Amino acid sequence: MFEALETRLKRYDELEKLITDPKVIADSSAYQRYTKELASLRAIVGRYREYKKVSAEIAGLEEMLGKKSEDAGLAELAKDELLDLKKRLPALEKEIEDLLLEDDPDADKNIIVEIRAGTGGQEASLFAADLFRMYSKYAVGKGWSVETLSSSVSEAGGFKEIVFGVNGNGVYRKMKFESGVHRVQRVPVTEASGRIHTSTVSVAVLPEAEDVDIKIDPKDLRVDVFRSSGAGGQSVNTADSAVRITHIPSGIVVQCQDERSQLKNKNKAMKVLRARLLDKAVTEQHDKIARERKTQIGTGERSEKIRTYNYPDRRITDHRIGLTVHNLENVLEGDLEGIIMELLKQEKDLKLKEAK
């Protein structure tokens, strides 16, 4: 534990120097990245510094009391202070342990969310739109910003697919558990007989990759431009503004046509591509250690059914932790905090079990 803490302390000191470097200050992107990393380390470094200070004071008092003193009053005060400090030390250790358990290098990263309609046809696309609205309202309530990166609208007015970014503090930490298959059970608006249908929508939450995370060789990219088409294209059939980028080594293809500007579409597509490549690398790393680690909520597979939204019973069930709540309307209006906090608690409990 202390080796990990010393590493964080050293990095914190490095970052404090970096954000005062004129070259870094002149580079707004680097400056924001370093200040954000600094903020993510502040709590744990502050507690560790306090722990070291208390430990040093205990050692000093014990050394003093080990020597004979003619001042009995001073010795009594020193004993009282030593007792208080020794009571404080275990509390600090517990706080540091909790902070380490919650520590995630991606916790404060912005995210890219991909929502895709699955089984259920038009009804699935409508539920994809419902989920997008739910996440957007949750984000606004947290003071985060949402930016649509690409979308494909269905005939019913829902989304076949929508990709959007969410920026803010602690975004990935709160949203990471939303990846997986979301199932909805309800009577479609178009269903005359009133039968309940089951549809599915897949959600992928990707931490946004920075240049330091993923290096992309321009030679590995094929960039195609074409005219926007279909609902959602703002410059339909007027200019070659839509962009498709293929990453040849991985075969990943990203397309963006929501902006009128070809450059803006390309920048958005590159942002999504970097996130997908980072996610691919992290997934491959996870697969290597998955057999040894038991700290993950669910399997982490994109195909895993994680949650069911049952409209007739106003019920939402998260299958990974066996949580059922009966406030479906509130959750769909963005009141996700209760479910997310339960998932975070379960993750922490699993980590504590593994650490013992």
pLDDT at position 163 over 60: yes
The distance in angstroms from the start CA to the end CA of the chain is: 13
- Determine how β-strand 315-318 pairs with β-strand 252-256: unpaired
Angle at 176 between CA 172 and CA 181, to 5 degrees: 145
CA atoms of 161 and 203, how far apart (whole Å): 10
pLDDT higher than 90, residue 214: no
Mean pLDDT, residues 228-238 = 51
Q: Looking at the domain that runs over 218-287, which CATH code has it been given?
A: 3.30.160.20
Q: Is the pLDDT of residue 292 over 50?
A: no
Spatial contact of 316 and 308, defined as CB atoms under 8 Å apart: yes
351-354, long-range: CB < 8 A, 24+ apart: 351/101, 351/295, 352/101, 353/294, 354/293, 354/294, 354/295
Which architecture, in CATH terms, is 111-208+299-355?
2-Layer Sandwich (3.30)
HSE-CB of 292 using CA atoms within 13 angstroms: 6
DSSP state, residue 258: S
CA atoms lying within 13 Å on the CB side of residue 225: 12
Q: How far apart are CA 141 and CA 132, in angstroms?
A: 14
- Backbone phi and psi for residue 240, each to the nearest 5 degrees, phi listed first: -80, 70
Q: How many residues does this entry show for the chain?
A: 356
How far apart are the C-alpha atoms of 297 and 293, rounded to whole Å? 11
For residues 36-60, one letter each, b for 16 or more C-beta atoms within 10 angstroms of the residue's C-beta and e for the rest, the string is ebbebbeebbebbeebeebeeebee
Cα 282 to Cα 14, 168, 213, 251, 278, distances in angstroms: 26, 22, 11, 17, 6
Sheet with 111-117, strands from edge to edge, namely 145-153, 159-167, 111-117, 197-207, 180-186, 305-310, 315-318, 323-325
Which residue has tokens 């009571």?
87
CB 95 within 8 A of CB 46: no
Do 65 and 78 form a contact (C-beta atoms < 8 A)?
A: yes
Higher-pLDDT residue of 269, 328: 328
Q: Between the ranges 127-136, 168-177, 249-258, 261-270, where is the mean pLDDT highest?
A: 127-136
Residue 280 has pLDDT above 70, yes or no: yes
CA 165/CA 190 separation, integer angstroms = 31
State the chain's mean pLDDT as an integer: 84
Output the pLDDT for position 239: 63
Helical packing angle, 28-65 and 2-18, nearest 10°? 130
This model's pTM is above 0.85: no
- Domain locations in the chain? 2-102, 111-208+299-355, 218-287
* CA atoms of 72 and 68, how far apart (whole Å): 10
Determine the Cα–Cα distance for residues 333 and 20; give it in Å rounded to an integer.
43
For range 11-34, the mean pLDDT: 89
- DSSP type of residue 220: G
DSSP alpha helix (H) spans, 142-261: 171-175
Percent of the chain with pLDDT over 70: 85
Using CA atoms, how far residue 239 sits from 155, 210, 229, 335, in Å, is 24, 30, 11, 41
- pLDDT (average), residues 220-234: 71
Cβ-Cβ contacts under 8 Å for 159 (sequence gap 6 or more): 115, 117, 125, 128, 129, 132, 151, 152, 153
Confidence (pLDDT) at 235: 42
Tokens in use for 78? Answer: 């020193």
